[in-house]
Amino acid sequence: MFTISIVLILIGGFVAFVNWFSFFQSYSTKRFHSTVPLIGAVLLGGGMFILPATRSYCWSALFLDYGTLALLLAFPNLFREFWSTRRFNLVSEYLGQAEKKTACLRLFKNGVFTIRLQLSRPPNECGLVNVGTTGKWQRDGNRIKLSTKEESASFEVIHDAPIESLRQSLGFVSWENKDEMSLAGIEFVESAIKSAATESLNHLNQSKS
């Protein structure tokens, strides 16, 4: 058991070291370097738990491994985003298609949006096939503005009856700089799919008017 615990501690410690090295690399170069969560903490903590001398300190592995620590810190935001984008919070869904591009814009009632672009490629062709982002949205008349932490985009309503449709008037720079990711000229048509909560809210508003 002693040998197993030492091996687990060494492997877990190495993974934790690599994760911390990636963190400092990201900080110094201003370029993101990904980390591996959980593995380092599980191995390091498991090895410490096996040894009686370190058993009471095995919980510290959660903080000794930066990958796991970063995941713990990000978990509240990840859960909030997960909950915010459930179907029952959906206000509107818009679908757009042009050539090999298929895009889906979803607006949720808590001011959160998601947009995802899929690219159809031949079986043997390499390249981007799926990309998406999320952020906040707000509507001002016939304009819908989307904002992420880094950039913003806006869509204009071009048809409002019988089914609403949108067209991009200002795109995300990071998307528009690449032709295959550009949403320019694509008409987004509102889907018939809406959440039960949204339909109930609309019915309530109609009853009050």
Residues 97 and 184 in one domain: yes
Is 8 domain-assigned?
yes
Residues 95 and 68 in one domain: no
- Whole domain around residue 59: which residue ranges? 2-74
- Domain of residue 173, CATH code: 2.40.128
pLDDT at position 31, please? Answer: 80
Closest CA to 190 of 133, 99, 97, 105: 105
- What is the distance between the alpha carbons of residues 143 and 130, in angstroms, rounded to a whole number? 26
Residues 105 and 126 in one domain: yes
- What one-character DSSP code corresponds to residue 58? G
Residues 69 and 114 in one domain: no
pLDDT at position 47, please? Answer: 93
DSSP sequence for 130-150: EEEEEEEEEEETTEEEEE-SS
Is 203 domain-assigned?
no
- Cα Rg for the chain, rounded, in angstroms? 23
**Which of 40, 74, 108 is the endpoint of a domain?**
74
Residues 70 and 109 in one domain: no
Number of domains in the chain: 2
Residue with tokens 């016939």: 142
The tens place of each residue's pLDDT in the chain, 209 residues long, gives: 889 999 999 999 999 999 999 989 888 887 877 888 899 999 999 999 999 999 999 999 999 999 999 989 888 877 877 777 788 889 999 999 988 899 999 999 889 999 999 998 888 888 888 999 999 999 999 999 999 988 999 999 998 888 899 999 999 999 999 888 999 999 999 987 654 444 544 554 455 44
What pLDDT digit, counting tens, does each position of 179-196 carry? Answer: 889 999 999 999 876 544
Give yes or no for a contact between 125 and 146, defined as CB atoms under 8 angstroms apart.
Answer: no
What pLDDT digit, counting tens, does each position of 136-179 carry? Answer: 999 999 999 999 988 999 999 998 888 899 999 999 999 999 88
- What is the distance between the alpha carbons of residues 203 and 56, in angstroms, rounded to a whole number? 58
- What is the distance between the alpha carbons of residues 145 and 190, in angstroms, rounded to a whole number? 16
- What one-character DSSP code corresponds to residue 177? T
Q: Flag whether the pTM goes above 0.75.
A: no
Question: What is the distance, to the nearest Å, from the Cα of residue 172 to the centroid of all Cα atoms in its chain?
Answer: 16
Residues 8 and 58 in one domain: yes
Residues 122 and 67 in one domain: no
- What is the distance between the alpha carbons of residues 190 and 203, in angstroms, rounded to a whole number? 19
pLDDT at position 193, please? Answer: 62
- What is the distance between the alpha carbons of residues 5 and 151, in angstroms, rounded to a whole number? 48
Residues 44 and 111 in one domain: no
pLDDT at position 209, please? Answer: 47
Residues 91 and 182 in one domain: yes
- What is the distance between the alpha carbons of residues 78 and 80, in angstroms, rounded to a whole number? 5
Cα dihedral sign, 156-85-128-189: negative
pLDDT at position 161, please? Answer: 81
